[in-house]
Amino acid sequence: MEKEFVLQMLEERQFKELKAELENMHPVDIAEMMEELEDKQMILIFRLLAKDEAAETFTEMNNDAREILLNALTDSEIKEVMDEMYLDDAVDVLEEMPANVVDRLLMATDEETRKQINTLLNYPEDSAGSIMNVEYIAFQKEMTVEEAILKIRQVGLNRETIYTCYVTEKRKLIGAVSLRELLTTGDNRTIEEIMETNMLYVHTHDDQEEVVGMISKYGLIAIPVVDNDMRMVGIVTVDDAIDVLEEETTEDISMMAGIVVPSEDSYFETSVWEHAKSRFPWLLFLMLSATLSGLVLGHFEAAIVAMPILNTFVTMLTGTGGNCGSQSSTLVIRGLATDEIEFKDIFKVLFKEIRVAALVGIMLAVVNGIRIVFMYHDVTLALSLGITLLFTVIIAKTIGCVLPLVAKKCGLDPALMAAPLITTLVDATTILVYFSIVTKIFGL
Amino acid sequence: MEKEFVLQMLEERQFKELKAELENMHPVDIAEMMEELEDKQMILIFRLLAKDEAAETFTEMNNDAREILLNALTDSEIKEVMDEMYLDDAVDVLEEMPANVVDRLLMATDEETRKQINTLLNYPEDSAGSIMNVEYIAFQKEMTVEEAILKIRQVGLNRETIYTCYVTEKRKLIGAVSLRELLTTGDNRTIEEIMETNMLYVHTHDDQEEVVGMISKYGLIAIPVVDNDMRMVGIVTVDDAIDVLEEETTEDISMMAGIVVPSEDSYFETSVWEHAKSRFPWLLFLMLSATLSGLVLGHFEAAIVAMPILNTFVTMLTGTGGNCGSQSSTLVIRGLATDEIEFKDIFKVLFKEIRVAALVGIMLAVVNGIRIVFMYHDVTLALSLGITLLFTVIIAKTIGCVLPLVAKKCGLDPALMAAPLITTLVDATTILVYFSIVTKIFGL
């Protein structure tokens, strides 16, 4: 709706009205709308935005839209946007841009900012340093509450968050004070009296997942980031934490589906070729591994020729095994991601899974047994399939729960040990168990 | 480490030191530690906690620990905990407790609180109303900034969040003011002058996923909740949003692995029987559906007997098909969850997936072809497997990307259309395509 409205105003050249309309829109929504416009319209609208709104909108856009804009804007316009952007957002933009655009962007910033940007760009990818904000409020411990509030009132406007403030001494982090605390205590108390000295913090090189885990676990609005000498260098805010959380979830889920996790580009932004490249490796590996179950099946060729009906149950058995295994591995992978399960729980998990497997296996064997007796009037067949099912479910759930835990222990991502790999492993095992049982029972 | 330290102090009856130690710990960590203690120790430690700390610790505990405590505490102790707890947390606790405990808890609250709790309990599960806080700060539009700040300073301590305040008129929501705005503007301006009237809000019956989506999309600290008459009834804060986000992700991932999503209990809190019950339905359904692929395979019995080697490629083909399908369905399900993909994009997605499938299919066919020629010296076999692979990949990716979109359109959860179901569907199709091709080529 909004898009049509904006386009109409653009066409009728009602720039003043459009400008007012845009001021009422949230930058997130402006960015979303602009991504759907033609290049020329997008540039026109961007130029109508107020300075700070333009910077925020630019931050929210996808890379394709950003590139189009940067190629159209003049150097002084770019400088305006860069000046208004928060440093951490500027760094995010730079990380995704081609080299020639990066140069132009860096040229548009003053030397001090450029230095800060370069420091931020040097933190390892996915580290606390790479997602932190370098703008925050720090007090000295000798300040009174009144002075602290005054300081916030003076500088607050330019800082991304003021709701948690920090106390530093020779740049070292020594305490934290929430704005709520400041506002609800006596004006004449000193910061030292009210500050929390036992505050939570992270190091610049800590993994972003860990940072987000702490923000989520303790319900924080922000967490300070310190270097190896406890010098405070920035904060990670909860809104950035949520973005990281969603990004990490997408990564985990993709990996669990056998997709080599590529860029941070979205589905549509990723080219067909990039998609193919990220999906091919696992497919290839799994296809070749499936040769194993093929060989096992080939080994029992004589039994199949002697009793062809046995073959019709193979997909049912491998399918059930695969599903059982991926149920277990999924629960364990998720438990590891949310810190509920640790490696030391391996026997607790195993014991639980085996009991669940026994229960589920028996239930499936009974239902399938009834079906077989009903369809084929063959109790021996029903019985051997039942035994196979029980074994399959137990083996599958054992493999499914143990592998992610072992992967974690070995420093691998547990999400690698998900459905695709488990299924392939379980396939071969299931076929082996199945034919070992039936060849014995039917004397093939 | 901390746990051993605490236990030692407990044993040596150093209660005073232990009390001081506990005051320095975060309630989240106390709760985590207590869950690992014996009942008696847990109760002892809980009684050492300061009132507000006890309430917060209780909020953070799992249900098993809560029940043990509630059974041990006296009525007046329970009343103290309930009085200190935030209402929304109290409601969360009540929702998970057995009926007799709920009665005791409700008896321990005063009548007004009981009424409020009952209202909150009546909101549909997973609605905005069920996760909101009823404690927030509201101003009248005639107030000055100075008066507003004074109000925050007076009541702030008892409200869960004060960083975004709201403006109401006859209880209706008419604006929002951030604390940052209040602190950085002139003391004598009125709220009406500085309030944002175009603020974001949700309705009590909106789905919690939608609420979290807005908080995440717009980077909010809190969002107001209104009833059908725009009367403000509460706020949802970002820390609760993160919990919901993680819970919803667990739900989605579980569903994608064919697990009927059960209670909000964690992996270890869920009993073996509950686990079995949540995993059995899909396993049963999929096992019975696999009969289909068994029947298709049975149909080509003659071909297999005539050329048994064909059978050894079945698991490789169905495995590859299943993996391809679940890659596509996973990406689409995640895209739908993060609002990047919508139903209207169906043809865009389909076009992309078919091109990716063609690329991947050809690459797999070539590698597999080389392997076959090398292992079996049979070019015709390599060729027919190649054609089958190409078809399989394209069909699998088509099914994989279309089903979640169709499910969404029909109001079903797209996560249902994940690996297990896709695999079962693709299995039967793959076998059909495979034998149709080879029987023709080899004239079986």
Tell me the CATH number at A315. Answer: 1.10.357.20
CB atoms within 10 A of CB B55: 21
- Residues B217 and B279 both lie in one domain: no
CB contacts of B279 in chain A (<8 Å) are 324, 327, 356, 360
Same domain, B109 and B220: no
Q: What is the CATH number of the domain that holds B152?
A: 3.10.580.10
Q: What are phi and psi of A195, to 5 degrees?
A: -75, 150
Which domain covers residue B217, as residue numbers? Answer: 138-237
3-state class (DSSP) for residue A338: coil
Q: Are residues A279 and A322 in the same domain?
A: yes
Q: Tell me, what CATH number does A54's domain have?
A: 1.25.60.10
> How many CB atoms lie under 10 A from the CB of residue B12?
10
Query: In this structure, are A173 and A310 located in the same domain?
Result: no
Among B151, B137, B139, smallest CA distance to B191 is for: B139
Does residue B257 lie within any of the structural domains? no
Q: Say if A267 falls within a structural domain.
A: no
Predicted-assembly ipTM surpassing the 0.95 threshold: no
**Residue A306 Cα distances to A202, A389, B177, angstroms:** 66, 22, 80
Residue B51 shares a structural domain with residue B24: yes
Same domain? For A218 and A283 the reply is: no
Q: For residue A263, is pLDDT > 60?
A: no
> Is residue A265 over pLDDT 90?
no
B232 φψ region: left (φ > 0), alpha (ψ -120 to 50), beta (else) = beta
Residues A287 and A229 in one domain: no
Residue A160 has pLDDT above 70, yes or no: no
- Structural domains of chain A, count: 3
Q: What is the DSSP letter of A157?
A: G
pLDDT at A262: 60
Interface test with B, best of A52, A356, A374 (most B CBs within 10 A): A356
Q: Among A102-111, A162-171, B381-390, where is mean pLDDT lowest?
A: A102-111
Asked if B227 and B306 sit in the same domain, the reply is: no
Residue A155 maps to a domain: yes
Give me the pLDDT at residue A325, please: 92
Residues B313 and B401 in one domain: yes
Q: Is the pLDDT higher at A372 or at B3? A: A372
B11 lies in some domain: yes
The whole-number pLDDT of residue A1 equals 52
* Assigned domain for B113 exists: yes
Q: In this predicted model, what pLDDT tens digit does every residue of B376-427 receive, in sequence order? A: 999 999 999 999 999 999 999 999 999 999 999 998 888 888 878 888 889 8
- Entry pTM: 0.83
Measured in angstroms, the CA of A35 and the nearest CA of chain B are apart by: 12
If we measure between CA atoms, which residue out of A361, A382, A384 comes closest to residue A371? Answer: A382
Cross-chain residue pair A219–B241, CB shorter than 8 Å: no
Average pLDDT over residues B164-179: 91
- Start-to-end C-alpha separation, chain B: 70
pLDDT (tens digit, 9 = 90+) per residue, A58-74?
Answer: 988 888 888 888 888 88
| Minimum Cα–Cα distance from A24: chain B residue | B198
Query: In the prediction, which pLDDT does B25 show?
Result: 87
Phi, psi (rounded to 5 degrees) for A424: -65, -45
The length of chain A is 444
A295 touches chain B (CB under 8 A): yes
The per-residue pLDDT of chain B, averaged, comes to 88
CB pairs under 8 A between A and B: 310
Contact of A64 with chain B, judged by CB distance below 8 Å, is answered with no
Question: What is the average per-residue pLDDT within B128-155?
Answer: 87
> Do residue B111 and residue B149 come from a single domain?
no
The mean per-residue pLDDT over the stretch B184-200 comes to 88
Confirm whether A262 is domain-assigned: no
CA dihedral B306, B311, B313, B316 (to 10 degrees): 160
Comparing alpha-carbon positions, the chain B residue that sits nearest to A265 is: B340
Judge contact between A443 and A311, C-beta under 8 A.
no
Min Cα separation B218/chain A (Å):
7
Report whether B197 contacts B174 (CB < 8 A): yes
Q: What are phi and psi of A237, to 5 degrees?
A: -100, 160
Residue A109 and residue A13 share a domain: yes
Residue A431 falls inside a structural domain: yes
Residues of chain A with Cβ-Cβ distance to B265 below 8 Å are none
Residues B286 and B427 in one domain: yes
Q: What stretches of A14-144 show up as alpha helix (H) in DSSP?
A: 15-24, 27-34, 39-48, 51-60, 63-72, 75-84, 87-96, 99-107, 111-121, 128-131
Q: How far apart are CA A251 and CA A272, in angstroms?
A: 18
In a domain, A127, yes or no: no
Contact A218 B28 (CB under 8 A): yes
